[in-house]
Amino acid sequence: MTTEITRTVRVHVDDVEANTRRGGDIRTTLSPRTVGCTSGFGGVLTLEPGDFVTEHYHPYSEEFLHVVSGQLEMTMDGQPITLGPGDSLLVPIGVRHRLVNTGTETAQGAFHLSPLAPKPELGHVDTEQVQRPEEHNPQVGGAR
């Protein structure tokens, strides 16, 4: 049996716009907008030493984080968790979290969130002032 692929399912990180609104360089490579997926979204993030992603939570989605390189600290509901290369972390639905590069080198990770929020603008609730409120925030959902 042969399966025909009828839509784009491969996206290179350089082909998507960086989301820097909350801090770092977050690139959502696989999403309803980029590949038409319907159950979640994911991508990669880069944090320079001392950089951080401001605190927020997801009212509809679990977040999965996999550390590829560098030293990170995820604070979840006020509790810090140290992470290094090879570590994976589950952030449950509704848990406030903030990610910081605590090391001396660039940190990189991969993330996935699922299920999707009913509307993209409902997917994140900021509990700390975003770092760059003037920055465009590429939406994850919506039509391609």
State how many domains the chain has: 1
Residue 95 structural domain: 15-126
Q: Which pLDDT tens digit goes with each residue over 41-90?
A: 999 999 999 999 999 999 999 999 999 999 999 999 999 999 999 999 99
Asked whether residue 132 is assigned to any structural domain, the reply reads no
CB 54 within 8 A of CB 23: yes
CB 107 within 8 A of CB 84: no
Predicted confidence at residue 141, as pLDDT, reads: 46
Q: Is the pTM of this model over 0.75?
A: yes
Q: pLDDT band for position 7 (50/70/90)?
A: low
Asked whether residue 97 is assigned to any structural domain, the reply reads yes
Asked whether residue 7 is assigned to any structural domain, the reply reads no
What's the whole-number mean pLDDT along residues 1-27? 83
Asked whether residue 90 is assigned to any structural domain, the reply reads yes
Asked whether residue 50 is assigned to any structural domain, the reply reads yes
CB 61 within 8 A of CB 112: no
CATH number at residue 107: 2.60.120.10
